Amino acid sequence: MRDVFEKINENIKKHDEIIIMTHARPDLDGMGSALVLYKIVKSMNKPCYIVSPKEKIYRSLDKAMNLLYKNDIKFNLKTADEIINSKFSNPLLFVLDTQKPELVESERVLEYIKDKIVIDHHIGTLDTIDDAIYKYDDANKSSIAEVMAEYLKFLDLKIESLIMTVLFAGMVVDTSSFSIKTTAHTFDMAAFLAKNGADFVLMQELLKEPKEEMTQRYVYINNSEEVLKDVLICKMDDKVHGNVDIALLAKELLKFEDVKASFAVGKLSHKIVGISARSMGEINVGEIMEKFGGGGHLTDAAAQIKDKTVDEVYTMLKNTIKDVIK
């Protein structure tokens, strides 16, 4: 990772302004990582801005941002219009936690800023940001929070414990409390955050969910279908949801007795439907997701399908599962 961080540092120093953007409807992993990167850039005495989200769907992120501002920890957020209308001389755009143009907070900002660095941990597909001056994409990383924790450690940079708590919460969410997508290195970085101020009790407060959100998840789960023996599939409604919501559904389905693989389908944007897949290891869900242009690992995989409805993807998925699992 030293080479990665040295390359990032080199590019930050070459540019006059740094803009940070994550995916639309950001979660604690994406935005928490953006906050940490903001602090890193500011430590290098560079002007820095975060693209402000148009739509917030995660109450935990709202709670985190309100707590930061209450403690006078502030960040320079600008709307997409403000970024585009700014007279930047030599800007660099960081895109965090996604590499798909359709999923970023603002496609206009993506097009406006020429020099881009993409940092992601999802499975790459053909439809990705292809004009980046540098891209780091490692599907073996649990989260971008893990990458940012390692970046802080590399720089030996101390930042506010509250931001470390937000970053830790992002790691907890993306790993489903360290039950998936974790390696020994993931735990090393979690320990690093804990040693440097991450507050476990406060993290749990940030992650508490409203009763209505949990109740709605149980409605989806109750309507899940056993498409094959020990294989469950769940469909969400036609509203736009976040990656975390879809992944959490697949994870919850896998908790049922005798279930060997689970799949959840939901809208990620008005153009894209996402599939999240989980397995106990006997069924290779990565192979199934490859049929949709996605991929992943034996036990953890995903795909994103463009220009299809949730119902269409749901039907396609059922048929594919039956074809692949004999």
Asked if residue 214 belongs to a domain, the reply is: no
**Total domains, the chain:** 2
Distance CA 190, CA 172 (A): 9
Residues 229, 124 share a domain:
no
Tokens of 201: 């009790």
51 and 148 inside one domain:
yes
| Domain boundary, last residue among 160, 177, 207 | 207
Supply 222's token pair: 């109750």
Establish if 273 belongs to a structural domain: yes
Q: What is the tens place of the pLDDT at every residue in 83-123?
A: 999 999 999 999 999 988 888 999 999 999 999 999 998 76
Six token digits for residue 20:
């940070």
Cα(15)–Cα(255) distance, integer angstroms: 48
List the beta bridge partners of residue 135: 118
Task: Please count the helices (runs of H) and the strands (runs of E) in the chain.
Answer: 13, 12
Task: Give tens-digit pLDDT for 2-30.
Answer: 999 999 999 999 999 999 999 988 999 99
Q: Which domain holds residue 149?
A: 2-207
At residue 114, the pLDDT reads 96
What CATH number is attached to the domain comprising 301? 3.10.310.30
Q: Is the residue at 274 inside a domain?
A: yes
Q: Is residue 15 part of a domain?
A: yes
Same domain? 202 vs 263: no
Three-state SS letters, 33-47:
HHHHHHHHHHHCCCC
More confident residue, 168 or 241: 168
Q: Half-sphere exposure (CA, 13 Å, Cβ side) for 73? A: 17
**Is residue 139 situated within a structural domain?**
yes
**Position 69 pLDDT exceeds 90:** yes
> Is residue 228 located within the same domain as residue 284?
yes
User: Percentage of residues in the chain with pLDDT exceeding 90?
Assistant: 71
* pLDDT over threshold 60, residue 126: no
| Confidence at residue 212, expressed as pLDDT on a 0 to 100 scale | 82
235 to 226, 267, 291, 309: CA distances (angstroms)? 12, 10, 19, 11
In a domain, 215, yes or no: no
- pLDDT over 80 at 326, yes or no: no
Give the residue among 292, 314, 318 at the shortest CA–CA distance from 305: 292
